[in-house]
Amino acid sequence: MFRALCIGVFTGTAALTLLGCAAEQPETSRPESGNATGNAGADVGGDAERDVAGSPNLRLTGRVVDAAGILSEEFEAELTGMLEEFETGSGVQLVVVTAPDLGGKDIAIFARDLGNDWGIGDEARDDGLLVLIAPNERQCRIAVGYGLEEIVTDAEAQNIIDNDMLPRFAQGDFEAGTDAGARSLIREVDSENLRADPLKDAA
């Protein structure tokens, strides 16, 4: 299960200009990559493309879901590759989402429900990570599965938001902020030397 974790609110000219932009519709075709199951047994990028209550256009289509349309295709491909490599090495699944709206929900509840509904992370280890960016609300959030709460603590997650993500978002560089946040989360997990262990997982 995901717990609601740290929140960040960003301001700046770029965030203000995004308020008038229409969000792109997410792709509904199956992405080429993604095979790790989560709490609900849904493959990332598999057949379980499910709507989330309050945001009918938000579907799990891969490790990066840019429903708000703020990331370039090139950056999205690079980030997806980095997240795939991280998951292969650690067994931890990290998904980055940009949402055009929160459907009237508090971002903490939205992020928690998103992680649980999509089944991000391994069911037994409960080790999913989700980064949610809502540019129209000028908010971002990190949601962490209970299995990782001793590795990615509230304080560490807040530090990542405050120091790595928000300053870049405020300058209008959503790609740099997203990249910095994802890399910092990966470093937090990799510092624990976690590795995927198929034999242990099968036990």
**Residue 75 sits in a domain of what CATH number?**
3.10.310.50
Which 8-state DSSP code applies to residue 150? T
Looking at residue 123, what is its pLDDT?
87
* Residue 31 domain flag: yes
Tokens of 74: 């090139």
* Residue 199 domain flag: no
* Residue 201 domain flag: no
* Residue 53 domain flag: yes
Owning domain of residue 19: 2-192
Nearest to 191 by CA among 64, 92, 68: 92
Rg of the chain, C-alpha, whole Å: 15
Tally of domains in the chain:
1
pTM above 0.85, yes or no: no
- In sequence order, what DSSP letters do the residues of 78-114 get, joined into one string? HHHHHHHHHHHHH---EEEEE-S--TT--HHHHHHHH
**Tens-level pLDDT at each residue, the chain (203 residues):** 655 445 444 433 232 222 222 222 223 232 333 332 222 222 333 333 444 444 546 889 999 999 999 999 999 999 999 999 999 999 999 999 999 999 899 999 999 999 999 999 998 899 999 999 999 999 999 999 999 999 999 999 999 999 999 999 999 999 999 999 999 999 999 987 655 444 344 44
Rounded Cα distance, 112 and 66, in Å: 18
Helix-helix angle 174-190:73-90, to 10 degrees? 10
**Chain-wide mean pLDDT for the chain?**
75
Looking at residue 20, what is its pLDDT?
25
* Residue 8 domain flag: yes
Rounded Cα distance, 113 and 52, in Å: 8
Nearest to 56 by CA among 96, 102, 95: 102
**How many CB atoms are located within 10 Å of the residue 43 CB?**
15
Burial class (CB in 10 A: 0-12, 13-18, 19+), 167: middle
Looking at residue 161, what is its pLDDT?
96
Spatial contact of 170 and 15, defined as CB atoms under 8 Å apart: yes
